C-alpha cells in the first residue's frame, strides 16, 4: 500500500503541473515537456547519423578492420593515424557530448550511474587511443570508440521514440474530432458551431458518416457507431435512445441527436491521453532496480578497471600499453547501455500494447504488483452482470404460446408504462400487438385488450389473490435466483411467466474459471440481497461473496481480505466502488466509458469484459518476466565477460579483445531490444 500511495502522490504532484484548459488542450507545462522530448529525439537522431557517417572512414582506416577485410595494403598510408584521430575526435566531442554532459549532471547530484560509466568508458578509450595515435604507435581503440558512441546514440534515440510512441498515438486521437458541430436549438433550428462553443446539455445532430464531437447520450435516432480507435472494439456498436456515445467515434448509417454530457477536459478522449501520459512518466519499481544495478555496475566497472590496470602494470611483466588495453576492454564491456534500455523499452511496449487493447495503465507500480495478485474482488452490478434490468427467462405454460408470442402480448400490455419491468420487457422484443382499453392495476400489474383478447401482466402475489392456477414450482425456482417474475394471463388463464433481473455477463464464467486456473481466489462484493448474491456466486463458481454491503463499507471488506494475507485486486465500475478501489492493492475500473474513474483506479479496462481482468494480470506477469529477462541479458554476461576482459585466463591463451568485448556489449543491447519487442499479451 505504501508504494501505491507514493505513486499516487506522484501523480497528484504531476497533475498539478499538467492541467488542461477548458477544451482539453495541454497546458504549457505539458506541451513544453512533449516539445523537450521531441527536441531530444531529434538531437540524438542527428548526432547518430553524423557520427555513423564519420565512423565509416574510422573503420576503413583502422588496422584491425583493414586486416580483417584484407585491404591493409590498399588503404595504408603515412598520415592514417592522424586522420583517424581527427575523425574520432569529432565523434567523441560531438556524438559523445550528451554522455559527457550526463556524467557532469550525475556527479553533481552525487548519483553516478549509466551516463558516468559511458562517459568514463569513451573517455578512457579516446585518451589512450589519442596518445597512441599522436605517438605514432598505432590507432588504439578508435573504431571501438566510434561504434560504441554510435550504439549509445542509437539506443537512446530508440528508447525515447519508443517511450513516446504510445502517447503520440493517443494524442493523434484528438485529431479525430470534427471542426464543427450541428447544434439543435429549442425550436429545432440547426446551427454550425465550433467545438469550443459546445456546452453541457446542448443538443447536437450527428449525420451519417460524421464524427462525434463530444461525449453524450442519444436522445433521438438509431445508428451504429465505430468506436474501434477508442475502445479496441472492432465491430460497430449499435446506438439507440439512452445509450452513451464517445467523442471521436464515427457515426455510420443513421442520424443521431445527442445531449452533450461532457466537454473538453471531462471527455473520455482527454482522460485517455492523460492516463497514458501519467503511465509513461510514473516510476517503475523495476526501473528503480535497473538504476541501482547501473550504479553498482558503474562502481564494479571502475573498480575492476583500476584493479586490472594496477595488476598488469605493477605485478606482471606486461607493458603499459597492455595494461591500458585490458583496462579499456573492461570499461567498454561493462558499459550498461543495454541496462538503460532494459526496462524503459518494456515499459513503452507494454503501455502501447495495453492502450491498443483498451487497457489504460495509470499506476505502473500497481500494474507490476498485479502479477502477485492472490484474490480478485468483483463488484456484481455492471461488472459480473450487465447492470441492466432485462428479461432473463420466458417460460410458457401452454403449447400454443411460444417465447415470442408471450413477449408480443407482454410488450403490448406494457407499451404505456414507464416501470422498469415494462422497459425490460419492451427491450426484449422488437415486435408487439396493439393494445386497447389499457388500465393500470396499482402495485399489481396492467391489463387491456390485446389481439382481441382480455390480457393481464400481474405479479404472482396478485395471481394468488385471484386464486389463479399456475405452475408455482417454476415461478418459485425463478424467484430463488433473486429474479422478479410476472405472469401473462389471457382470458383468465395463466399462459406463461416472464422473469427479469440483472443478467450475468456471457464471459464472466470463463473469466472466473481462468482466474482459478491461475490459483487466484475470486470474491464478489454487492449491495444486492443475499438470495441474488448466492445465486450469482453459485452460477459463476465464486469462492466467497459479501452481500448487502453499502458502497462506503466495501473498503472494509477489502481490508478484511488483506488482513488474511491476500494480495487483492478490486474490479468495479469506478464510481460507487471508489473507496474499495483505493483500498485494494490494485484498483481496476472495468467498463470505464466516459465515466472513467481516474482518481481512484490504477488500471482502466475500457470495455465491459471481465475477461480483460485475466488479460491484464497475464500481461503484468509477462511484462515483469520481460523486464527480468532484459536485466539479466543487460548485466548477466558481465559475470563471464569482465574476468575475461581483465585477462584472468591470459596464461591459458584466452584473452578477450576489445573488439570482441564491444561485440558482446552490442549483442547484449540487440537481445534486450528484440526481447522487449516480443512482448505480447
Q: Is 159 or 313 the better-scoring residue by pLDDT?
A: 313
* 589 lies in some domain: yes
Q: Is residue 46 in some structural domain?
A: yes
Burial class from Cβ neighbours inside 10 Å (0-12, 13-18, 19+) for residue 5 reads exposed
**Catalytic residue check, 379:** yes
pLDDT at position 334 is: 76
Mean of the pLDDT values across residues 413-425? 81
- State how beta strands 484-490 and 493-504 pair: antiparallel
Q: Of 236, 268, 300, which marks where a domain is finished?
A: 268
Of 159-163, 318-322, 449-453, the least confident? 159-163
Q: To 10 degrees, the CA torsion angle through 236, 238, 239, 241? A: 180
> CA-to-CA distance for 156 and 297, rounded, in angstroms?
19
**Higher model confidence: residue 300 or residue 419?**
300
CATH code for position 478: 3.40.1110.10
595 and 512 assigned to the same domain:
yes
Range of lowest pLDDT (142-156, 182-196, 480-494): 142-156
Please write the tens of the pLDDT for every residue from 576-612.
677 888 889 998 887 654 344 456 678 888 777 888 8
Q: Provide the CA 593 distance to its chain's centre, in angstroms.
A: 15
Please indicate, yes or no, whether residues 67 and 164 belong to a single structural domain of this protein: yes
Please tell me whether residue 496 adopts helix, strand or coil conformation: strand
Same domain, 374 and 395: no
In a 13 Å sphere around the CA of 167, the CA atoms on its Cβ side amount to 24
Give the pTM: 0.62
Examine the domain organization and report whether 472 and 556 are in the same domain: no
At 543 the pLDDT is: 96
CA separation for the pair 57, 37 (Å, rounded): 31
Question: Average pLDDT, stretch 25-43?
Answer: 59
* 45-59, 265-279, 424-438, range with greatest mean pLDDT: 45-59
Catalytic residue among 215, 379, 585, 602: 379
Residue 9 lies in a domain: no
Query: In angstroms, rounded to a whole number, what is the distance separating the alpha carbons of residues 425 and 408?
Result: 9
pLDDT at position 92 is 95
CA 324 centroid distance within chain: 48
**What does R_g of the chain's alpha carbons equal in angstroms?**
34
291 & 247 share domain? no
C-alpha cell at 672: 534486450
In a domain, 264, yes or no: yes
Is there a domain that residue 4 lies in?
no
Q: Looking at residues 519-532, what average pLDDT do you find?
A: 87
Shared-domain flag, residues 146 and 287 = yes
**Chosen domain end from 218, 241, 268:** 268
Instruction: Between 330 and 161, name the one with better pLDDT.
Output: 330
Which three cell numbers mark 644? Answer: 575475461
**Does residue 3 lie in a domain region?**
no
Query: What pLDDT, on a 0 to 100 scale, did the predictor assign at position 218?
Result: 93
Beta bridge partner(s), residue 571: 378, 588
Q: What is the mean pLDDT of residues 455-467?
A: 92
Distance of CA 509 to the CA centre of its chain: 24
What mean pLDDT, rounded, does the chain reach?
A: 79
pLDDT at residue 488 tops 80: yes
Question: Residue 401 CA to chain centroid, in angstroms?
Answer: 50
pLDDT in the model for residue 517 = 95
User: Are 45 and 94 within one domain?
Assistant: yes
In 199-336, DSSP assigns E strands to 203-206, 215-220, 223-226, 237-239, 244-245, 250-251, 256-262
User: Which three cell numbers mark 123?
Assistant: 573517455
Query: What is the 3-state secondary structure of 17-42?
Result: CCCECCCCCECHHHHHHHHHHHHHHH
Task: Tell me, yes or no, whether 476 and 576 share the same domain.
Answer: no
Largest CA distance in the chain: 117
Cα 381 from Cα 363, distance rounded (Å): 25
Query: Which residues, other chains included, contact 453 with Cβ-Cβ below 8 Å and sequence gap of 6+?
Result: 490, 491
Share of residues in the chain with pLDDT > 90 (%) = 25
Give the CATH number for residue 514: 3.40.50.1000
Helices (H), 362-506: 364-369, 403-413, 420-427, 460-465, 472-480
pLDDT at 22 over 70: no
Q: What is the DSSP string of 347-375?
A: HHHHHHHHHHTTEEES-HHHHHHGGG--E
628-664 residue pLDDT tens? 888 888 777 777 788 888 888 888 888 876 667 666 7
| Structural domains in the chain (count) | 4
CA distances from 59 to 142, 390, 668 (A): 8, 74, 22
What strands lie across the sheet with 203-206, from one edge to the other?
190-194, 180-184, 203-206, 256-262, 215-220, 244-245
Query: Do 521 and 585 sit in the same domain of this protein?
Result: yes
Query: Would you state the pLDDT for residue 338?
Result: 72
CA pair distance 198, 634, nearest whole angstrom? 52
Do 509 and 373 share a domain, yes or no? yes
Grid coordinates representing 42 are 531529434
Domain boundary among 623, 639, 655: 623
- Do 314 and 191 share a domain, yes or no? no
Q: Confidence band (pLDDT; 50, 70, 90) for 540?
A: very high
Residue scoring higher pLDDT (489 or 635): 489
CB atoms within 10 A of CB 301: 23
What average pLDDT does range 355-381 have in this prediction? 85
**Residue 14 located in a structural domain:** no
> Which of the pair, 183 or 422, is modelled with greater confidence?
183
* Residue 382 · residue 198 · CB < 8 Å: no
Q: b/e for 445-459, b at 16 or more Cβ within 10 A?
A: bbbbbbeeeebbbbb
- Tell me which residue range forms the domain holding 129: 20-170+283-352+625-677
Sequence-distant (≥ 6) Cβ neighbours of residue 110 within 8 angstroms: none
In a domain, 197, yes or no: yes
- C-alpha span between 370 and 603 (Å, rounded): 10
- Do both 570 and 603 map to the same domain? yes
Q: How many CA atoms lie within 13 A of 344 on its CB side?
A: 19
- Beta-bridge mates of residue 523: 377, 544
3-state secondary structure of 403: helix
State the pLDDT at residue 326: 85
Residues 248 and 245: their CA atoms lie apart, in Å, by 9
Tell me how far apart the alpha carbons of residues 187 and 254 are, in angstroms, rounded to a whole number.
22
Check pLDDT > 70 for residue 21: no
Tell me, letter by letter, the H, E, C secondary structure of 137-173. Answer: CCCCCHHHHHHHHHHHHHHHHHHHHHHHHHHHHHHHH
Residues 6+ apart with CB under 8 A from 660: none
CATH code: domain of residue 201: 2.70.150.10
Per residue in 217-258, pLDDT tens?
999 998 888 775 555 454 577 888 998 888 878 888 788 999
Amino acid at each position: 500500500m505504501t508504494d501505491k500511495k507514493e505513486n499516487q502522490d506522484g501523480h497528484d504532484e504531476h497533475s498539478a503541473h499538467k492541467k488542461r484548459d477548458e477544451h482539453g488542450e495541454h497546458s504549457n507545462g505539458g506541451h513544453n515537456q512533449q516539445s523537450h522530448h521531441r527536441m531530444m529525439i531529434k538531437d540524438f537522431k542527428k548526432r547518430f547519423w553524423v557520427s555513423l557517417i564519420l565512423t565509416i572512414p574510422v573503420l576503413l582506416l583502422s588496422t584491425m578492420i583493414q586486416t580483417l577485410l584484407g585491404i591493409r595494403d590498399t588503404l595504408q598510408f603515412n598520415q592514417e593515424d592522424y586522420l583517424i584521430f581527427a575523425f574520432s575526435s569529432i565523434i567523441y566531442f560531438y556524438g559523445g557530448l550528451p554522455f559527457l554532459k550526463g556524467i557532469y549532471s550525475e556527479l553533481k547530484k552525487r548519483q553516478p550511474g549509466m551516463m558516468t560509466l559511458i562517459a568514463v568508458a569513451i573517455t578512457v578509450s579516446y585518451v589512450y587511443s589519442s596518445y597512441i595515435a599522436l605517438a605514432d604507435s598505432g590507432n588504439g581503440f578508435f573504431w571501438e570508440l566510434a561504434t560504441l558512441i554510435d550504439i549509445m546514440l542509437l539506443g537512446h534515440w530508440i528508447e525515447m521514440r519508443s517511450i513516446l510512441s504510445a502517447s503520440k498515438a493517443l494524442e493523434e486521437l484528438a485529431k479525430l474530432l470534427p471542426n464543427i458541430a450541428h447544434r439543435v436549438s429549442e425550436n429545432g433550428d440547426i446551427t454550425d458551431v465550433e467545438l469550443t462553443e459546445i456546452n453541457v446539455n446542448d443538443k447536437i445532430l450527428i449525420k451519417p458518416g460524421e464524427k462525434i464531437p463530444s461525449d453524450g447520450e442519444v436522445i433521438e435516432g438509431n445508428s451504429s457507431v465505430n468506436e474501434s480507435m477508442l475502445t479496441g472494439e472492432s465491430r460497430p456498436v449499435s446506438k439507440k435512445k439512452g445509450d452513451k456515445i464517445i467523442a471521436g467515434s464515427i457515426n455510420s448509417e443513421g442520424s443521431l441527436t445527442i445531449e452533450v454530457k461532457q466537454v473538453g477536459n471531462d471527455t473520455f478522449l482527454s482522460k485517455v491521453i492523460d492516463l497514458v501520459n501519467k503511465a509513461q512518466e510514473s516510476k517503475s519499481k523495476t526501473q528503480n532496480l535497473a538504476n541501482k544495478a547501473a550504479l553498482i555496475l558503474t562502481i564494479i566497472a571502475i573498480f575492476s578497471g583500476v584493479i586490472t590496470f594496477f595488476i598488469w602494470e605493477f605485478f606482471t611483466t606486461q607493458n603499459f600499453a597492455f595494461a591500458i588495453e585490458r583496462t579499456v576492454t573492461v570499461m567498454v564491456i561493462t558499459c550498461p547501455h543495454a541496462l538503460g534500455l532494459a526496462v524503459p523499452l518494456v515499459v513503452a511496449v507494454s503501455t502501447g500494447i495495453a492502450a491498443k487493447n483498451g487497457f489504460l495503465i495509470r499506476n505502473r507500480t500497481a500494474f507490476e504488483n498485479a502479477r502477485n495478485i492472490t484474490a480478485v474482488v468483483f463488484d456484481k452490478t455492471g461488472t459480473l452482470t450487465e447492470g441492466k434490468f432485462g428479461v432473463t427467462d420466458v417460460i410458457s405454460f401452454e403449447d400454443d404460446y411460444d417465447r415470442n408470442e408471450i413477449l408480443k402480448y407482454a410488450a403490448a400490455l406494457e407499451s404505456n408504462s414507464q416501470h422498469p419491468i415494462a422497459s425490460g420487457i419492451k427491450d426484449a422484443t422488437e415486435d408487439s400487438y396493439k393494445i386497447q382499453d389499457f388500465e393500470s392495476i396499482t402495485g399489481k400489474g396492467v391489463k387491456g385488450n390485446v389481439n382481441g383478447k382480455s390480457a393481464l401482466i400481474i405479479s404472482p402475489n396478485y395471481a394468488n389473490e385471484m386464486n389463479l392456477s399456475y405452475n408455482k414450482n417454476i415461478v418459485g425456482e425463478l424467484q430463488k435466483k433473486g429474479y422478479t417474475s410476472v405472469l401473462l394471463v389471457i382470458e383468465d388463464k395463466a399462459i406463461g411467466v416472464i422473469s427479469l433481473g440483472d443478467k450475468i455477463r456471457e464471459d464472466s464464467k470463463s473469466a472466473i474459471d481462468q482466474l482459478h486456473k491461475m490459483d487466484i481466489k475470486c470474491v464478489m462484493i454487492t449491495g444486492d440481497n443475499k438470495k441474488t448474491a448466492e445465486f450469482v456466486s453459485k452460477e459463476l463458481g465464486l469462492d466467497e461473496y459479501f452481500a448487502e454491503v453499502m458502497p462506503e463499507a466495501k473498503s472494509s471488506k477489502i481490508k478484511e481480505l488483506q488482513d488474511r494475507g491476500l494480495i487483492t485486486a478490486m474490479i468495479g465500475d469506478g464510481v460507487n466502488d471508489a473507496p474499495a478501489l483505493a483500498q485494494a492493492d490494485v484498483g481496476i475500473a472495468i467498463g470505464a466509458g466516459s465515466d472513467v474513474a481516474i482518481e481512484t483506479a490504477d488500471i482502466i479496462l475500457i470495455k465491459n469484459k471481465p475477461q480483460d481482468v485475466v488479460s491484464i494480470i497475464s500481461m503484468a506477469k509477462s511484462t515483469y518476466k520481460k523486464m527480468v529477462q532484459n536485466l539479466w541479458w543487460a548485466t548477466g554476461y558481465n559475470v563471464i565477460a569482465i574476468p575475461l576482459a581483465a585477462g584472468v585466463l591470459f596464461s591459458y591463451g584466452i584473452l578477450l579483445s576489445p573488439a570482441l568485448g564491444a561485440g558482446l556489449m552490442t549483442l547484449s543491447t540487440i537481445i534486450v531490444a528484440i526481447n522487449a519487442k516480443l512482448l505480447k499479451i
